[in-house]
Amino acid sequence: MKKIIRQLSNNAIFQDFDENDWHRLETLSLLRKKSYNKGEILFSMGENTSEIGIIIDGSVVIENNDILGNSTILNKLETGDVFAETYAITETPMMVDVVAAQACRIVFFNVRNLLENTKNSPLAQKITRNLLFISMQKNLVLSSRIFCTSPKTIRERLAIYFSEQVTRTGSTSFDIPFNRQQMADYLNLDRSALSKELGKMQEEGLIRYRKNHFEMIKFNI
């Protein structure tokens, strides 16, 4: 348990935690760790959970899969990111799948049990405040995806996405967290059409790219 606590000590969900808070979590047995291989499902659509997932290392993707077999990637989460908090707190069935994008280790935190058993305690108040901050950050990410998928043309969607990456990294050269299929899913595009448009943009001298690394040569794309 002490090793888990060391790994979580800098996570946003446990901001401002002191030794007493960690001791309380340990006493309540609210934390567990599990490892997954690439492609394994952590949570499935329709599943109920009382636990929040915290990525210790590796990455996961949040997917929406419809009854026709169409898959849409809503987000990719990396080390330190948190997922399923909304479903754990509201007791709402999962509306997405959470899938390991690579081998990963996850700590599951039974936040509903904590909030039910320590209601109005300083510990519960800290967790609630930190979860609110994380939720607001995620709303920004979802808003970003809406902006990226609103334009009709592929190039316009890419222009918005690349502009956001330049703003995020402060550089015209950056890595994105997606492979080509994941990028197509995120932008709600056909993979072959996306690849074709990227090729055109590179031929026109607007961008350079190799795998998931991109460099913006011109901004009027």
Sequence ranges of the domains in the chain:
2-145, 150-216
Strand order of the β-sheet with 97-100 is 41-43, 97-100, 60-65, 71-77
Q: What is the mean pLDDT of residues 176-203?
A: 95
Amino acid 221: pLDDT: 55
6-15, 28-37, 50-59, 98-107: least confident range:
6-15
Amino acid 130: pLDDT: 94
Number of alpha helices (DSSP H) and beta strands (DSSP E) in the chain: 8, 11
CATH number listed for the domain at residues 2-145: 2.60.120.10
What is the dihedral sign for C-alpha 65, 79, 167, 135?
positive
CATH 1.10.10.10 at 150-216, yes or no:
yes
60-69, 82-91, 148-157: least confident range:
60-69
- Going by pLDDT thresholds of 50, 70 and 90, the confidence category of residue 183 is very high
Residue 35 has pLDDT above 60, yes or no: yes
Q: What is the mean pLDDT of residues 133-157?
A: 91
Q: Which two tokens stand for residue 50?
A: 């009382």
Amino acid 220: pLDDT: 61
pTM of the model: 0.77
- Going by pLDDT thresholds of 50, 70 and 90, the confidence category of residue 14 is very high
Count Cβ atoms within 10 A of the Cβ of residue 201 and give its class: 0-12 exposed, 13-18 middle, 19 or more buried: buried
67-71, 128-132, 213-217: least confident range:
67-71
Question: Which of 13, 53, 14, 18 has the alpha carbon at shortest distance from 33?
Answer: 53
- The neighbouring-strand residues paired with 107 are 33, 54
